[in-house]
Amino acid sequence: MNSLQILSFVGFYAAGGGHHLVEGPQNRYRIATRLFSAGRSLKAPVIAASLMLTNLSTEQLVGLSGQAYKSGMSVMGWEVTSAVTLIFLALIFLPRYLKRGIATIPDFLEERYDKTTRIIIDFCFLIATGVCFLPIVLNSGALALNSLFHVGESLQISHGAAIWLLVILLGMAGILYAVIGGLRAMAVADSINGIGLVIGGLMVPILA
């Protein structure tokens, strides 16, 4: 791990959230409407990039890549078919949701059924995200960062301790993005990260 790697990594991700940190407390999105809909201020390119990057994380970049290496290209089906659903979402469903002021799926279910249904779905989403999704994403992200920066060797701690440290730091970074900036911060960060992912992805076959 060298200083250039650290500076480039920190600088790249700081660019995604730094803009919202310097706007001042008066412009930070404290209420639910702005946290979940970004005050309806997002432009089409940012929304498109965020939709695409919502479907990409270390779960795909690390996990599915390893599975494809081991089992073949059939695992591509999981991601290829998702492009179709994203098109339907962007062209058909999303405009109608935004027109009715619906920002989340529980919002829609509350309008369609009742508040009890919303609470049940909220609970199910929280459990599914906390138990099934986040552990995989945080662990794969920690593995990727540890392989890049050799955190365990640099801090002279065990591999397991390094992974736990990175998992905690990644979780805290995600919380800061979401709480301080809301959806706008996440969408802008997705757009910036998307540029880096495209460039990095194109460089892999060239450098390999």
Over residues 107-163, the pLDDT tens digits come to 888 888 988 999 999 899 889 888 888 888 888 888 888 888 888 888 889 999 999
pLDDT at 124: 92
pLDDT at 29: 42
pLDDT at residue 16 tops 60: no
Of 43, 4, 10, 16, whose CA–CA distance to 185 is shortest?
16
Answer whether 33's CB lies under 8 Å from 205's CB.
Answer: no
* Percent of the chain whose predicted confidence (pLDDT) is above 90: 9
Over residues 173-197, the pLDDT tens digits come to 877 777 776 666 666 676 777 777 7
Instruction: Compute the half-sphere exposure of residue 202: CA atoms within 13 Å on the CB side of its CA.
Output: 5
Residues contacting residue 105 through CB under 8 Å, at least 6 positions apart: 121, 125
Over residues 20-66, the pLDDT tens digits come to 555 444 444 444 455 455 555 566 676 777 677 766 766 777 777 78
